[in-house]
Amino acid sequence: MIRLASVALALLLAALPAAAEEACQTWTAGAQEDEGGPVFTVAACATDRPDAYLFLTCSSGEVFIRYDLAVGAERAPESNDVNDVDFTVGVSTQRLSMSYQEMDGMFAGSVPANGPLMALLKSGEGLSVVDADSRYPIHSFGLTGSSNALSRLVRQCG
C-alpha cells in the first residue's frame, strides 16, 4: 500500500512541471489587485521557468512592463540596477532599458502602446527575453493568446 502511494505521488510530482509549462503557454488578461485597487493586466510566465513572470499594464498610451529578470540567477540585482533587455521573436529583437524595482523585485520599463515592441509581442510563436549583457538567465515564453491579450490591454489604455 505504501509503495503504491509512493508511486502515485511520484507520478503526480512528475506531472506538475508539465502542467506548469502547459499553463505558461497562454497569455492571460484581466484585473489584478494592485496597491490602488484592480488594474487591467496582461501576464505570461516563462515556459522554461514558470516562476519567471512578465506583466504588462497600460496608461495614457504607455505600456508598463514588469519582468522577473533575475529569477533563477546566481547574482542578485543591486538597488539601482538598470539593464538593456532584449525581447526576441524569430530573428527580430527589440531592446528596452529596464530598472530594478526593490519593492517587488522586478525590473520595469515602458514602451508606446502602439510601438514596435508591442507589435513584436503579438507575432510569432515564441519569445526569448534576456539582458543584453547576459548577466541573468534567458527565459522563453510562448506567444499563444498574446495578440488578443495585448489588443485588449491597449483598448483599456485610456
pLDDT tens-place string over residues 18-45:
444 456 878 999 999 888 889 999 999 9
Q: How confident is the model at residue 48 (pLDDT cuts 50, 70, 90)?
A: very high
| Mean pLDDT, rounded, for 133-147 | 94
Lowest mean pLDDT among 36-40, 110-114, 149-153: 36-40
User: Is residue 8 over pLDDT 80?
Assistant: no
Q: Which three cell numbers stand for residue 3?
A: 509503495
List the chain domain ranges.
2-155
Residue located via cell numbers 527565459: 139
CA of residue 27 relative to chain centroid, distance: 9
pLDDT surpasses 50 at 91: yes
CA distance 74 to 92: 28
Asked whether the beta carbons of 126 and 92 are under 8 A apart, the reply is no
All residues at 6 or more sequence positions from 36 whose CB lies less than 8 Å from its CB, including other chains: none
Which band of pLDDT confidence, cut at 50, 70 and 90, is reported for residue 2? very low
* Measured distance CA(45)–CA(88) in Å, rounded: 16
Looking at residues 47-75, what average pLDDT do you find? 93
**Cβ neighbours of 89 (radius 10 Å):** 20
Query: Looking at residues 60-81, what average pLDDT do you find?
Result: 90
Distance CA 97, CA 111 (A): 10
SS (H, E, C) the chain: CHHHHHHHHHHHHHHHHHHHHHHCCECEEEEEEECCEEEEEEEEECCCCCCCEEEEEEECCEEEEEECCCCCCCCCCCCCCEEEEEEEECCEEEEEEEEEECCCCEEEEEEECCCHHHHHHCCCCEEEEEECCCCCCCEEEECECHHHHHHHHHHCCC
Q: Which fold has domain 2-155?
A: Immunoglobulin-like (2.60.40)
Residue 45: alpha-carbon gap to chain centroid: 5
